A and B are shown apart, each in its own frame.
Chain A
Amino acid sequence: MTSKEQPQSTDTIGIEMVKHVALLVRLGITEEEAREFSHQFNAIIDYFHLLNEVDTASVPPANASGPSSNVLRADQVAPSMSREDFLKNAPQAEGSFVRVPGVLDED
């Protein structure tokens, strides 16, 4: 087992790590939430260390349970969803576009 596959039980998930991950997944959280999550995450991740008991040196990783090769179809155009239907769900539609706040900062 490589050292990369063997996490130590002393790894802790601090508040800064929680905030970092929250930003990665685009979740706004408060200081209070970061503190609470840090505590809970450590307990949960610690529990996962149970898997270290298992010798997986010569075990391949599983893939999904269904068909084991890519499922292809002929490249033929067929109707999917009309633009009109799609735009019905848009929080803000403008003509044939979906509008969102600026992608680049204005300042």
Chain B
Amino acid sequence: MELHNLTLREAHELLSTKKISSLELTTAVLKRIRQIDPQLHAYVTVSEELALEQARQADARFHSGKQITPLTGIPFAVKDCISTRGVRTTCSSKILENYVPQYNATVIDRLAEAGAVLLGKHNMDEFGMGSSCENSAFFPTRNPWDLERVPGGSSGGSAAAVASGLTTFALGEDTGGSIRMPAGFCSVVGLKPTYGRVSRYGLIALVSSFDTIGPLTREVYDCAAVLQTIAGKDPRDSTSLSEAVPDYLKNLGEPIKGLRLGIPKEYFLPGMEAGVEKSIREAVRTLEGLGMQVREVSLPHTKYALPVYYLLLFAEASANLARFDGARFGRSDREQAKNVVDMYLQTRREGFGTEVKRRIMLGAYVLSAGYYDAYYLKAQKVRTLLRRDFETVFEQCDVLAAPICPTTAFKIGEKIDDPLTMYLSDIYVVATNPAGVPALNVPCGFSQGMPVGMQLIGKQLSEALLLQVGHAYQMATDWHKMRPPVA
């Protein structure tokens, strides 16, 4: 039995019946990281000593029979924008290359309380700015299904790691597709929860009104178990929702007969890769076979989602990244600085990558006097229309099914030269975040050898329903059982 490929559910079964120990499981995964990660580059930091210590503590819990949860003793890792006390947190940027947080993000505290074991930090596009992991200041992560291709971004390291057994589960972060796209490209389950469902305390902010932390796992059941642990109100995040957290595991396995599945016509554009469309349509037929009522629906403002998303992203990111200035933490280029402004100019010049600089400047431009109304305010108004599209459509159906990208994973280097081309690949995943709605990626096939992902989108706080439908799909198909050929 290959320990590194166990699902969370399988591992919990073996751990709680003492057939394996957390130390054995953690050691096996750490060994696999040493063997495979030099090819994939999913990890920025591996916290081996901490992991082994936490594994021993988890084993003590099993020994005493106390404080055992579904996540006790389970190894996990997180995207490198989530703060981990004592463990370097870089956002894959040179400006935070040696930054070690003195506190944990709330999600890390909750996982620690549950007894999960932190393996390390995953590579990402710098500050979440990218769709391929090529914008990491350190190295690009590779897609385990084809090492010449991107894993997707910006949670590319997390998706690649879950797909290839370099962790049992991961936490990523989705601002405009950054969990779902890499999950789709790497054939794993990835959930973007409702905005506010999971605390952002300790998440290094990109777009404060879009950012959402969520799980990446090998199966839908695992995803539900992780969400159960991390979701819920946090007094330290004033945007976290007060609504009670339901039991996400309860309805897994319940029939989905009679539920209404909407297929948004604007998400099936001409020019889509034929194999991608074929896989999605087959998946829809499978769901229909399980009793869902399928109908075509419309999200009429879909084509405006991309400019709305990027405009608001530039503006908010510009404000959020102003704090990286060399004064209080992070990289500081001050030897040649005659004054504090010099230090800011040099630090940010040396510390930020090109895409980051681009977006910060564009953000300042669209917010500046004379342009604010035309760009920022306009985008916020169209954002209202995007939200209304979803509200209207969820009166006609319970769940939407759509692709996550018109193509499968592209080759490393293929889109990196033209920023606009890269932005356009996000076309199917950017509407959800301005609207705050949740979406779940499930693997649904292959096209020309590369994974195809289907996203199930629901109205706000419909995670339990999405997981129920996703689980039903996985009970009827085998895509989630396939593993990439990486040794």
Of the listed stretches B133-141, B148-156, B378-386, chain A binds B378-386
Q: Within the assembled complex, what's the spacing in Å between the Cα atoms of A61 and B326?
A: 35
Q: Is B222 an interface residue (CB 8 A)?
A: no
Q: Within the assembled complex, what's the spacing in Å between the Cα atoms of A5 and B372?
A: 8
Most buried by B among A21, A53, A60, A103: A21
Q: Within the assembled complex, what's the spacing in Å between the Cα atoms of A73 and B346?
A: 40
Chain A hits for B419, CB < 8 A? 40, 44
Q: Which residue of A lies closest to B377 (CB)?
A: A61
Q: Is A91 an interface residue (CB 8 A)?
A: yes
Q: Is B301 an interface residue (CB 8 A)?
A: yes
Report yes or no: A101 in contact with B374, Cβ–Cβ below 8 A. Answer: no
CB distance from A13 to the nearest CB of B (A): 7
CB distance from A35 to the nearest CB of B (A): 13
Cross-chain contact of A64 among B209, B360, B385 (Cβ < 8 A): B209
Of the listed stretches B16-24, B67-75, B304-312, chain A binds B304-312
Q: Is B260 an interface residue (CB 8 A)?
A: no
The A-contacting residues of B in range 376-430, CB under 8 angstroms, are 377-385, 387, 419-420, 423
Chain A hits for B383, CB < 8 A? 61-62
Most buried by A among B368, B377, B382, B419: B382
Chain B hits for A103, CB < 8 A? 339-340
CB distance from A32 to the nearest CB of B (A): 12
Q: Is B361 an interface residue (CB 8 A)?
A: yes
Chain A hits for B311, CB < 8 A? 48, 51
Q: Within the assembled complex, what's the spacing in Å between the Cα atoms of A85 and B346?
A: 26
> How many residues in B have their beta carbons less than 8 Å from beta carbons of A?
78
Q: Within the assembled complex, what's the spacing in Å between the Cα atoms of A8 and B107?
A: 45
Given contacts A25-B361, A101-B337, contact A51 B379 (CB under 8 A): yes
Q: Within the assembled complex, what's the spacing in Å between the Cα atoms of A67 and B334?
A: 41
Cross-chain contact of A50 among B242, B307, B354 (Cβ < 8 A): B307
Q: Is A94 an interface residue (CB 8 A)?
A: no
Q: Which residue of B lies closest to A7 (CB)?
A: B374
Cross-chain contact of A67 among B238, B327, B365 (Cβ < 8 A): B238
Report yes or no: B239 in contact with A67, Cβ–Cβ below 8 A. Answer: yes
Q: Is B328 an interface residue (CB 8 A)?
A: yes
Report yes or no: B384 in contact with A51, Cβ–Cβ below 8 A. Answer: no
Q: Is A100 an interface residue (CB 8 A)?
A: yes
Question: CB-defined interface of B335-356 with A at 8 Å, one 1/0 digit per residue?
Answer: 0011111111110110010100
Chain B hits for A51, CB < 8 A? 304, 307-308, 311, 378-379, 382
Q: Within the assembled complex, what's the spacing in Å between the Cα atoms of A5 and B144?
A: 46
CB distance from B397 to the nearest CB of A (A): 21
Q: Within the assembled complex, what's the spacing in Å between the Cα atoms of A22 and B362?
A: 10
Q: Within the assembled complex, what's the spacing in Å between the Cα atoms of A100 and B340?
A: 7
Q: Is B436 an interface residue (CB 8 A)?
A: yes
Most buried by A among B338, B361, B371: B361
Cross-chain contact of B420 among A43, A53, A73, A107 (Cβ < 8 A): A43
Of the listed stretches B45-53, B98-106, B275-283, chain A binds B98-106
Report yes or no: A5 in contact with B377, Cβ–Cβ below 8 A. Answer: yes
Given contacts A65-B209, A89-B100, contact A21 B361 (CB under 8 A): yes
Report yes or no: A54 in contact with B365, Cβ–Cβ below 8 A. Answer: no
Q: Within the assembled complex, what's the spacing in Å between the Cα atoms of A45 and B362?
A: 8
Q: Is B63 an interface residue (CB 8 A)?
A: no
Q: Which residue of B lies closest to A105 (CB)?
A: B339
Report yes or no: B196 in contact with A101, Cβ–Cβ below 8 A. Answer: no
Q: Which residue of A lies closest to B351 (CB)?
A: A27
Further 19 A-B residue pairs, CB within 8 A, beyond A61-B377, A101-B337: A5-B373, A13-B365, A25-B364, A27-B345, A29-B357, A33-B354, A41-B358, A43-B420, A51-B378, A51-B382, A56-B381, A59-B382, A59-B384, A61-B381, A61-B384, A64-B195, A64-B239, A70-B238, A88-B102
27 interchain pairs (CB within 8 A)? A4-B373, A5-B374, A18-B361, A21-B365, A29-B357, A44-B419, A47-B307, A48-B311, A50-B304, A54-B385, A56-B381, A59-B382, A60-B381, A61-B384, A65-B196, A66-B239, A85-B102, A88-B102, A89-B100, A89-B102, A89-B330, A91-B328, A92-B334, A100-B334, A103-B339, A104-B339, A107-B338
